[in-house]
Amino acid sequence: MRVSENILISSLTTMRLGGPARYVIEIEKPEEIPDAYEFAKTYHLPTYVLGAGANTIGHDEGFNGVIIINRIKGITDIDEYTVKAMGGENWDDVVEHVVNKNLTGIEALSKIPGLVAAAPVQNIGAYGQEVADVLTEIEVYDTKTNAFCTLSRADLKFAYRKSILNSTEKNRYFIISITMRLKEGQMPGPYYTSIEKYIADHHIADLGPKSIREIVSTIRASKLPDPKEKASSGSFFKNIYLNQTEAEKAIAKGYPVFHGKDGYKINSGWFIEQAGFAGKLLHGMRVCDTAALVLINESATSYEDLAKARNEIINKIYDKYGYWLEQEPNEIINTPIGKQS
């Protein structure tokens, strides 16, 4: 367990905003987890668990608490179809491992930035696949009972970008590992338009896991900025989900409604593009011209700059189309101990 003081949150997150965290603790072994929480308890400080910082925004005032970073590594094949990955592993390395076994289930989640532990928290998904589809259980440390335990997929109550881990039980569990059950075969259709177009344009017949991973990786590279090169937190706005009645009304208005296994939805980026934001610089934040869901920190120096850009987009979309956009990244906010959010 490594303890550091006064570390800028901007150096720990890919949006590169945020003042100093009072303490940062890096965990490399599960047995160090209770010690980290005991450290915070001793100094009466709140905690915030952080991974690669790809889906997290810091505030200018920093965090008067303890940021705990998961550095626990390891990928293990339990059997032919079951893979266990430790929380501190890079997510895309796990996808690559699974695809190299020629198993399907997460190949469309290729190149999503972040660590394994973040995957079940917000039920990461892309191009019709979600972690919830394959996850069987997670190992955690329960800060409420101060004990190690296992939670099943049913326990996590998955929904779109949601689980108990970022809602009813937020901040309660430290995720040690996840276990996934994959299968042979290929990802079923219908595929997203961008994948269908790539398949048609390149006359691809093989739609196995390796091929889909290559297609998705190429598409993402062409549209999404690399957080290592351009400061961003990936998709900044969640897509809009609709019930059947809402979908019918949206279709009647000419909006591009996609109907997949998880219901009806509209890509929020479409509204942002239609409203004329694509490529625009707003308070130092650039709306990505190839993927309008992404905000790039080009010259913003404060959380206030980000908030102004975000709110300008949200208000314009509501005024013009009647939909409220919802922010996807989490925020590190100072809260009194016992009232962490």
161 is catalytic: yes
| CA-based R_g, the chain, Å | 20
The partner residues of 266 in beta bridges, in order of sequence, read: 240
| 49, amino acid identity | V
Annotated catalytic residue: which of 161, 213, 220, 286?
161
The type of residue at 286 is R
Where is 210: in which H helix or E strand? helix 209-223
Taking Cα atoms as reference points, which of 181, 173, 141 lies closest to residue 156? 173
Nearest to 56, CA basis, from 333, 341, 329, 297: 329
CA 287, 291, 292, 296 dihedral sign is negative
Could you say which of 89, 235, 286, 310 is catalytic? 235
Give yes or no for a cis peptide into 190 (omega within 30° of 0). yes
Helix spans in 228-302 (H): 244-252, 268-274
Residues noted as catalytic: 161, 235, 328
